[in-house]
Amino acid sequence: MTDRTVLDLYHHEVDAPRAEHYAHWTPDGRRVLSTEEFFARTCALADAFAKLGVSSGDRVVLLSDTRPEWHMVDLAILDLGAVDVPVYQTLTPAQLSYQVNDSGAVAAVADNATQMAKFLGIRGECPSLRHLVQIEGDRAEGILDFEELSGSVSDGFEERFWDRAKKIDEMKLATIIYTSGTTGEPKGVMLSHDNLVQNATFINRRLFGDRDDLALEFLPLCHIAERIAGYCYMQRSMSKAYCTVETVGGFFAQVAPTIFLAAPRVYEKVYQKVIEKVEASSPVKQKLFRWAFEVGVEANDCRIAGEVPSLTLRVKHGIADRLVLTKIRSGLGGRVRLCLTGAAPTPDYVTEFFHALGVPMAEAYGLTENAPVAVLGDVEPGQVRRGWVGKALDNLEVKLAHDGEVLVRGPSVMMGYWNKPEQTAETFDADGFLLTGDIGEMDEDGYLRIIDRKKELIVTSGGKNVAPQPIESKLKQSHLVDIAVLIGERRNFISALISPDFEQLQAWAAENDVESESVEDLLARPQVLEVFQQVVDAVNAELARYEQVREFRLLPESLTIENGFLTPTLKVKRRVIDKRFSDIIEGIYSG
């Protein structure tokens, strides 16, 4: 049977029962759910929402970290023909109020008392919001108990669940996802069941595994990338482990996943940690690592070219793997056969590193408006092209406009923006192609490479176009650099704001006897400025003159989601940074 709705994707999971289908990893321990328990609780939850009056077309807000209950709520809401509105835990009450009111949500689910407090604070200004449900922790008066709702199983629950699922029109709205954006009013992307199912199905046709795999989900499920990955896992009946971005580092080895998705910054951090450990080791171990890595690169080059490695290379790779590479892989549990990345371009050195370790990495390109994957890499021999994301999914048309903007058309492209018909119209060209706002290159075989965001291309006063992301990525290869942000729009040269990795910088300062009384004092030391100048000079050596970073300034604070400088998907909010550090920027150019 052809999958029509998200509930059809879930049916594959129910049809492959096991005692430990879902595991929730937290600092307090590991909690396991069987297929039957998860299904019964999801059905009970759907019945409970129906009794509360939630019906077809109603919107329900879901604010929760990455955990099994997120999927229970998602599936229960969709089973009623209702629409879920997943939101980020980092939203302020004002931002949450906007999304609740704009969507007209009738109910909301939060995972704990801290998050529920946001709803309690805005409830008076959200007239449509009738019911509040809390997943765990002490509840305020009037808050419904998730455990009670999902534990009240009544006769016929299974038949009711699937009977409702059969009646769903796959072309109707399933979810509204508000784009995080960097400025301005967020837009609610409307995606149908068909949008989501089409994307998951054609991703799986190219890349995913089977029920023997163990998928690790730790990115926010409110983001479409992790969500569509979860639907792919459902369709393949995989077992799943859940944790959060904040805790995943401590769980990788214990979970031992075979497949997972992560943002490029996560992989960059893994790379940096390995390199830091190597650099702190003895000269002999450093030399052994470099040799093993070079052998790994050579062996991988053979593999992706579809060539049979020589006997000498096979012997060398066996030794390199046993002595070095397998030990590094053990940090990820030792069983990873595929890791996925997206949300931003992944630096070539990162993908080369993971491939050399024997951990194939596939990159995806897309956006929420396309549910989200438009272009997907491959890990099969002969299908990998270094430096390129990959090819369009087989059910999509992807092409470049005359200015290089990537255009997408096909069944996973959104229905439009909620309550915003004019902005919806502006997002499509006359032929119905989605205007992505990304600038790319495409080769003769249809492989796509993303250069940068169209609106983020820096145009200097001399009329030169500079793509900041590749240069920022090169700067971040230094273990001393956490985040780099290029500046230069309508200016006569390129400069950079650099947020150091303060842990690494302080370790470097101690090793080099550089004393300081404060962070500001440390960043002003001539030795510190000199070492960062060396980082900039090394990058400049690879750039055209008009792209080179002429000046830089070190920022005395980290750029994080919490302080508002990064989106929840770890993208830099350039306009926020421009405003916050305007004095520093003007100081660079006034000189």
Query: Does 497 score more than 70 pLDDT?
Result: yes
Cα(357)–Cα(335) distance, integer angstroms: 12
Within 10 Å of residue 519's Cβ, how many Cβ atoms?
A: 16
Q: In the predicted model, what is the mean pLDDT of residues 262-270?
A: 86
pLDDT higher for 132 or 93?
132
Within 10 Å of residue 174's Cβ, how many Cβ atoms?
A: 27
Residue 570 Rama label (left phi>0; alpha psi -120 to 50; beta): left
Annotated domain spans of the chain: 6-192, 457-590
Q: Report the SS3 class of residue 1.
A: coil
Question: Can you tell me which residue has the tokens 């995972």?
Answer: 111
* Percentage of the chain modeled with pLDDT above 70: 99
Q: pLDDT, tens digit, for every residue of 294-341?
A: 999 999 888 888 888 899 999 999 999 999 999 999 999 999 999 999
* Percentage of the chain modeled with pLDDT above 90: 73
Query: Does 436 score more than 80 pLDDT?
Result: yes
Question: Can you tell me which residue has the tokens 């995913």?
Answer: 208
Q: pLDDT, tens digit, for every residue of 376-432?
A: 998 887 777 878 899 999 999 999 999 899 999 999 999 999 999 999 999 999 999
Q: Residue 591's pLDDT band (boundaries 50, 70, 90)?
A: low
Q: Given 3.30.300.30, 3.40.50.450, 3.40.710.10, 3.30.70.260, which CATH number is that of 457-590?
A: 3.30.300.30
Cα(561)–Cα(67) distance, integer angstroms: 20
Short-list 115, 139, 6, 124, CA closest to 61:
115
Does residue 230 contact residue 224 with C-beta atoms inside 8 Å?
no
Residue 417 makes CB contacts below 8 A (sequence gap 6+) with 187, 188, 189, 190, 423, 424, 427
Does residue 22 contact residue 240 with C-beta atoms inside 8 Å?
yes
Query: Does 569 score more than 80 pLDDT?
Result: no
| Pair of tokens at residue 16 | 């492959």
Q: pLDDT, tens digit, for every residue of 177-197?
A: 998 644 457 899 999 999 999
Residue 1, pLDDT score: 66
Residue 33, pLDDT score: 98
Residue 491, pLDDT score: 86
Amino acid at 458: I
Element (H, E) at 60: strand 59-63
Q: Residue 102's pLDDT band (boundaries 50, 70, 90)?
A: very high
pLDDT higher for 54 or 460?
54
Element (H, E) at 353: helix 348-357
Q: pLDDT, tens digit, for every residue of 23-76?
A: 999 999 999 999 999 999 999 999 999 999 999 999 999 999 999 999 999 999
Domain 6-192, second-level architecture: 3-Layer(aba) Sandwich (3.40)
Short-list 67, 275, 45, 248, CA closest to 164:
45
Residue 182, pLDDT score: 42
Outline where 455-525 has alpha helix (H): 468-475, 502-511, 519-524
Residue 183, pLDDT score: 43
Average pLDDT, the chain: 92
Within 10 Å of residue 95's Cβ, how many Cβ atoms?
A: 17
Q: How far is CA 219 from CA 85, 486, 563, in A?
A: 17, 27, 19
Amino acid at 248: V
Q: Report the SS3 class of residue 2.
A: coil
DSSP string covering 273-301: HHHHHHHTS-HHHHHHHHHHHHHHHHHHH
Give the DSSP letter of residue 390: B
List the beta bridge partners of residue 176: 190
Q: pLDDT, tens digit, for every residue of 540-562?
A: 998 888 889 999 999 998 988 88
Residue 244, pLDDT score: 94
Query: Does 235 score more than 60 pLDDT?
Result: yes
Cα(17)–Cα(38) distance, integer angstroms: 10
Query: Does 224 score more than 90 pLDDT?
Result: yes
Residue 62, pLDDT score: 98
Q: pLDDT, tens digit, for every residue of 392-401?
A: 999 999 999 9
β-strand 131-134 against 144-145: which pairing, if any? Answer: parallel
Residue 255, pLDDT score: 96
List the beta bridge partners of residue 238: none
Q: Report the SS3 class of residue 19.
A: coil
Short-list 157, 165, 214, CA closest to 9:
165
Query: Does 503 score more than 70 pLDDT?
Result: yes
Task: Give the neighbor-by-neighbor strand order of the sheet with 373-376.
Answer: 29-33, 22-26, 239-242, 214-217, 259-262, 338-341, 361-366, 373-376, 391-392
